[in-house]
């Protein structure tokens, strides 16, 4: 099973991560043909959203509330070096450029396959408006356009986060496989983030 997941993730990264710029449908709500469901991630209720559009483009997102104020949540969300180890497969995050509103980040990913471990390096351009939103875009990848946005708003008892991503592959990969990998990686990262201080310092009960 681990080999299948590694191969699927390798297919996502190497065959699905950057193409012609997708339309900005992922910023609109609701998405066309959107499918949404509630998923319990630890003690947190996460609303998972996904949609399949034309030309194999997929949209995916997660809405959830964390038990920390906006300032604390923003600090944790934009600590990119610390976020790296919380994401499945990521072994290192380097900050290549930094300005008050923009970052250039290089992410190193280790992929276990039937033929051993493969290492990939991906670069992301990150724009941010503290403490409201962060956008990210994968750079210099000939196979896919991958981008996303996280918005923060104050909520009762904490901060509401709304994540949306758009993935547009240039090669033929089944949409179900792309969605499976994106869901696995995103929810796995959220699960770890929610249990790591300062976000995970205070347990939050799921709604009844």
pLDDT in tens, 96-108: 999 989 999 999 9
Domain that holds residue 168: 2-201
How crowded is residue 25: how many other Cβ atoms within 10 Å of its Cβ?
A: 14
Examine residue 97 and state whether it is found in any structural domain, yes or no: yes
- Predicted confidence (pLDDT) per residue in 2-24, tens digit: 444 443 444 444 433 333 344 46
CATH of the domain at 83: 3.30.530.20
Examine residue 206 and state whether it is found in any structural domain, yes or no: no
pLDDT for 149: 95
Examine residue 44 and state whether it is found in any structural domain, yes or no: yes
**Count of domains in the chain?**
1
The pLDDT > 70 percentage for the chain reads 84
Examine residue 207 and state whether it is found in any structural domain, yes or no: no
**Which pair of structure tokens corresponds to residue 100?**
């008050």
- More confidently predicted of 182 and 14: 182
Examine residue 208 and state whether it is found in any structural domain, yes or no: no
Examine residue 35 and state whether it is found in any structural domain, yes or no: yes
Whole-number Å distance between alpha carbons of 170 and 141:
10
Examine residue 99 and state whether it is found in any structural domain, yes or no: yes
- Predicted confidence (pLDDT) per residue in 124-147, tens digit: 999 999 999 999 999 988 788 999
Q: How confident is the model at residue 118 (pLDDT cuts 50, 70, 90)?
A: confident
Question: What is the pTM assigned to this prediction?
Answer: 0.80
| CA nearest neighbour of 131 among 161, 90, 89 | 161
Q: Is 55 helix (H, G, I), strand (E, B) or coil?
A: helix
pLDDT for 97: 95
Q: Compute the half-sphere exposure of residue 175: CA atoms within 13 Å on the CB side of its CA.
A: 13
Span of 11-15, 62-66, 73-77 with lowest mean pLDDT: 11-15
Environment class of 187 (CB within 10 Å of its CB; exposed 0-12, middle 13-18, buried 19+): middle
């Amino acid at each position: 099973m681990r080999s299948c997941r590694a191969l699927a993730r390798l297919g996502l990264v190497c065959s699905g991560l950057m193409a012609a710029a997708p339309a900005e449908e992922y910023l609109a709500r609701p998405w066309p043909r959107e499918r949404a469901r509630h998923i319990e991630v630890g003690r947190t209720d996460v609303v998972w959203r996904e949609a399949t559009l034309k030309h194999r483009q997929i949209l995916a997102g997660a809405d959830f509330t964390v038990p920390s104020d906006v300032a604390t949540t923003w600090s944790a969300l934009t600590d990119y070096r610390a976020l790296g180890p919380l994401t499945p497969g990521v072994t290192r995050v380097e900050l290549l450029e930094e300005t008050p509103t923009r970052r250039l980040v290089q992410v190193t990913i280790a992929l276990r396959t039937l033929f051993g471990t493969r290492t990939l390096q991906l670069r992301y351009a990150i724009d941010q408006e503290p403490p409201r939103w962060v956008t990210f875009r994968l750079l210099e990848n000939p196979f896919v356009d991958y981008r996303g946005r996280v918005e923060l708003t104050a909520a009762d008892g904490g901060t509401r986060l709304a994540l949306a991503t758009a993935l547009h592959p240039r090669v033929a990969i089944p949409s179900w496989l792309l969605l499976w990998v994106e869901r696995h990686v995103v929810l796995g990262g959220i699960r770890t983030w929610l249990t790591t201080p300062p976000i995970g310092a205070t347990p939050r009960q799921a709604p009844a």
